[in-house]
Amino acid sequence: MEVYNFTIKEAHEKLVNKEITSVQLTKDYLDQIEKTDKDINAFLTVSRELALKQAEKVDEKIKNNEEISLLAGIPVAIKDNILVVGEKCTSSSKILENYIAPYDATVIKKLKDADCVIIGKTNMDEFAMGASTETSAYKVTKNPNDLERVPGGSSGGSAAAVAANECVYALGSDTGGSIRQPASFCGVVGMKPTYGAVSRYGLMAMASSLDQIGPITKTAEDAKIVFDVISGKDPLDSTSVKLQSSNNSNTKSLKDLVVGLPKEYFLKGVINPDVEKNIKEAIKKYESLGVRFQEISLPNTEYALAVYYIIMPCEVSANLARFDGIKYGLSEKADNLLDVYLKSRENGFGEEVRRRIILGTYALSSGYYDAYYLKAQKVRTLIKKDFEEAFKKVDLIMTPVSPFPAFKIGEKIQDPLSMYLSDIFTISLNLAGLPGISIPCGKIDKLPVGLQIIGPHFSEELILSTAQAFEK
């Protein structure tokens, strides 16, 4: 049976109606990976045994007429910086080449409680540092829409796997746009929840005040199903929050919605004209559904990129200090302890990771801390205030996800600054801790374009229902 291109809802209905078994569904997706992944390189490891064991368990439940969850028996791919007990977890780095996860991340525990089928771990930029999945130590993932182009990053493997129908949905992590930008480039849905809405326990830390795990799916409806399962307070993550059950402000009708369009995101020379055209057509569609739009200003947006590339490397330099060649991972032999540290880190980390560690260590060093890190934190507060002021006037904000569609493999990798500009429209949300979603809204030739919908803290329900209205 041709099962590819299922949404979670469709696959669930087929399973419940006994039109297909979970084992058959899983085998079909494993066959699809075998057939297509040699061209796409979305997966680092395929967990065939684990997946089939989980699928058998679900089939047994269905056979006994037990009730199953919406995610039960449905294949999911996991970004390789999220721990799955007993499975390899490399964060696409040589320093963790043979590292086996000793425990499950909280999101994995929640997915397993819902009887999901984990089909494998996906490729990513090394330690999630990159916007194209080209900094992986193992392989370069390709965009299923055009194999000469990047899938985006850092969750490029997860987005490519969903777009290539190698799984039904996937998990990614988003520190500066790493779920939304690849979702936009690959033509799928990617959601970054509010900071604290989803536990980070068991996610390899890159920048702890910015990281957030979220779903990559075919539809906004599917994103909601996954978000409802993985979100919530976790005693193992002190930054996680108990979500309030839905109230009326979370579910406004489209006719009551006022949406802001920040003028800073539509400046000439910043955005590709074809991307702008697709975004404006999406806005017209929303207008026809009764949504009202108004121009707003987020004046400190222009500093977001600079602020992000000070705060994030500072947190990176602290978080990656644990990879020292002693506790776990790669350990190079040397005559003394210092050389063990230096050799292990030099040979284990790639160029981009080393660059960010050096930048962060410099910005945190004596004499520079006040000039860089402290100043960046103050401007971060101003960026957050811009959004707070905007949300007094509007319910949601809409922007492009990226200033351009997927670029060619190799086009930006030698020029870090032009690569960093890929995140220009997405990083403000991470700095402010806000939720946002990327939904496909058109194409330039065969390259997808994503529309970003941003809401106030913990307004996921409103964002998702607004995104679903566009799909319908």
Q: What is the pTM of this model?
A: 0.97
Per-residue pLDDT at 247: 45
**Alpha-carbon Rg for the chain in angstroms:** 21
In a domain, 71, yes or no: yes
Distance separating alpha carbons of residues 422 and 309, to the nearest angstrom: 13
pLDDT band at 252 (very low <50, low <70, confident <90, very high): confident
pLDDT band at 297 (very low <50, low <70, confident <90, very high): very high
- CATH of residue 302's domain is 3.90.1300.10
Per-residue pLDDT at 384: 98
Upstream peptide bond of 136 is cis (omega within 30 degrees of 0): no
DSSP 255-313: GG-EEEEEGGGG-TTTS-HHHHHHHHHHHHHHHHTT-EEEEE--GGGGGHHHHHHHHHH
For residue 213, give the 3-state DSSP assignment.
Answer: strand
- Kindly state the tokens that stand for 51: 């997946």
Q: How many residues can be counted in the chain?
A: 472
What's the rounded mean pLDDT across residues 104-110? 98
What's the rounded mean pLDDT across residues 415-440? 95
Residue with tokens 């976790």: 234
- Kindly state the tokens that stand for 388: 């707070």
Per-residue pLDDT at 95: 97
In a domain, 226, yes or no: yes
Q: In this model, does residue 1 exceed pLDDT 60?
A: no
In a domain, 430, yes or no: yes
What's the rounded mean pLDDT across residues 90-107? 97
In a domain, 239, yes or no: no
Per-residue pLDDT at 163: 97
In a domain, 241, yes or no: no
What's the rounded mean pLDDT across residues 315-331? 94
Distance separating alpha carbons of residues 61 and 64, to the nearest angstrom: 5
Instruction: Express each pLDDT in 24-73 by its tens digit.
Output: 999 999 999 999 999 999 999 999 999 999 999 999 999 999 999 999 99
In a domain, 41, yes or no: yes
pLDDT band at 468 (very low <50, low <70, confident <90, very high): very high
Per-residue pLDDT at 386: 98
Distance separating alpha carbons of residues 142 and 136, to the nearest angstrom: 12
Q: In this model, does residue 246 exceed pLDDT 90?
A: no
pLDDT band at 248 (very low <50, low <70, confident <90, very high): very low
CA distances, 166 to each of 10, 83, 147, 220, 455 (Å): 16, 20, 16, 19, 31
CA distances, 279 to each of 119, 253, 272, 381, 463 (Å): 34, 22, 11, 29, 17
Per-residue pLDDT at 57: 98
In a domain, 286, yes or no: yes
What's the rounded mean pLDDT across residues 247-269? 83
pLDDT band at 430 (very low <50, low <70, confident <90, very high): very high
**Burial grade of 185 (CB within 10 A; 0-12, 13-18, 19 or more):** buried
Instruction: Express each pLDDT in 444-454 by its tens digit.
Output: 999 999 999 99
Per-residue pLDDT at 250: 59
What's the rounded mean pLDDT across residues 70-91? 98
Domain that holds residue 140: 1-234+250-472
Instruction: Express each pLDDT in 184-225 by its tens digit.
Output: 999 999 999 999 999 999 999 999 999 999 999 999 999 999
- Kindly state the tokens that stand for 349: 């980390």
In a domain, 215, yes or no: yes
| Active centre residues (catalytic) | 79, 154, 178
Q: Tell me if 106 sits within 8 A of 234, measured CB to CB.
A: yes
Mean pLDDT over all residues of the chain? Answer: 96
- HSE of 79 in the Cβ direction (CA atoms, 13 Å)? 33
Q: What's the total number of domains in the chain?
A: 1
Q: In this model, does residue 117 exceed pLDDT 70?
A: yes
